[in-house]
Amino acid sequence: MQSALPSRWMARSGLLLATTLAAGCASAPPSSPPVAPAQAVESVAPPPDYVPVVRYGRYTLVELAPTAAQQDLLQVVDVAVPHTLHASVGDAVRHVLQRSGYRLCDAHDADALLTLPLPAAHYRLGPVVLHDALLTLAGPAWNLQVDHGTRRVCFTRAPGAQVAVLEGPLADLAEQVELLQRQPAAVTQARYDTEHQSVTQRLADIELALGERLVAGDLRPLQDRLAHLEARQAQRPVSQAAPRPPAAETPRPKPAGPSFQLLGVELRADERFLSIRPYGASALSQVRLLRVGEEEDGWRLETIEDGSATFHRAGERLRIAVPAHQGGSR
């Protein structure tokens, strides 16, 4: 009886072990997750308004892009033309283009525009973009053409304006044709010869009649009177005035300050310039824009302040007032 219990327990243990091994062999091993095929990494383009920046210092970010003032004709200008200078439209265009890097083209297509007097409303422009300032000076009858390769600015007539220009001469021609049609018929050669002979005969009769009336006796009193006047004139002594000595030219004193006049402050591409002209200058082309650090007649511009400018020459420093009504103040 005691030997039968261990044998039965060993039989049950062996059966349980066999069942466990069979179940382990029948179950499939866990499957590993599928590996996705390798995909090519595509570069994503930045958005159109993306502007790269770089860090300067600890809290400063600087955009790596040109400013609007550095892009062609997008720079801001503030222009003041002195009213004492009777400028033309061409003078104003050249003055506005100063310091912009662009210049007016040499073509003569726009001479009709550039030789016109500058309107009073255009003596003060700005602050405004340079492109718009040029269009304002030209007016709606002209188109602005910019050659960025040679940095030249040209004006051409707008299509509608060209038609209007041609309509004027056509109207004049039509009026001339109408006047010619209203004129009387031409005189024939035979009638012209007859009238000419009649007028010639009448002139000959008048000359003959005048010759018969004019006798030598009528001229005698006039001749006697003329001789009497000549005799009296000969009896008067002629006094010769001694020539005056030439007046000595007094040398003009040299001005103590600069030889140029300050007109005001103008703006070009967010930078302030001092507008100056030589004393006695009467043309807008003689006006110069002076930047801080530049010289004129030996005077170096040191500062541009509100209402004044400081110059330096040979150890001498001079502060000159700037007219407030000329140019912009920024």
Average pLDDT over every residue of 11-35: 56
The dihedral through the CA atoms of 286, 92, 293, 73 has a sign that is negative
Confidence of residue 153 (pLDDT cuts 50, 70, 90): very high
The span from the first CA to the last CA of the chain, in angstroms, equals 120
Structure tokens given for 233: 């004139």
The dihedral through the CA atoms of 211, 213, 214, 215 has a sign that is positive
Whose CA is closest to 261, among 251, 243, 274?
A: 274
Residue 144 has pLDDT above 50, yes or no: yes
CATH 3.55.50 placement within the chain: 73-159
**What's residue 240's pLDDT?**
60
Average pLDDT over every residue of 230-250: 68
**What's residue 225's pLDDT?**
81
Q: Give per-residue pLDDT as tens, 208-224.
A: 777 666 555 666 777 78
Backbone torsions φ then ψ of 188, nearest 5 degrees: -75, 160
- Architecture of domain 73-159 in CATH? 3-Layer(bab) Sandwich (3.55)
Cβ-proximal residues to 237 (8 Å cutoff; 6+ apart), any chain: none
Instruction: HSE, CB side, 13 Å, CA atoms: give it for residue 107.
Output: 11
Strand duo 124-129 + 76-80: pairing: antiparallel
**What's residue 87's pLDDT?**
92
Confidence of residue 5 (pLDDT cuts 50, 70, 90): very low
Mean pLDDT score of the chain: 79
**What's residue 44's pLDDT?**
59
Q: Give per-residue pLDDT as tens, 28-79.
A: 555 555 555 555 555 556 666 777 888 888 888 888 887 766 766 778 899 9
Q: In angstroms, rounded to a whole number, what is the distance separating the alpha carbons of residues 102 and 142?
A: 19
Percent residues over pLDDT 70 in the chain: 71
Q: Which residues of 217-250 are buried (b: 16+ CB within 10 A; e: fewer)?
A: eeeeeeeeeeeeeeeeeeeeeeeeeeeeeeeeee
Confidence of residue 107 (pLDDT cuts 50, 70, 90): confident
Number of CB atoms found within 10 A of residue 279's CB: 9
Q: Give per-residue pLDDT as tens, 255-312.
A: 568 999 999 999 998 899 999 999 988 899 999 999 999 999 999 999 999 899 999 9
Q: Give per-residue pLDDT as tens, 296-324.
A: 999 999 999 989 999 999 889 999 999 87
Average pLDDT over every residue of 100-129: 92
pTM above 0.85, yes or no: no
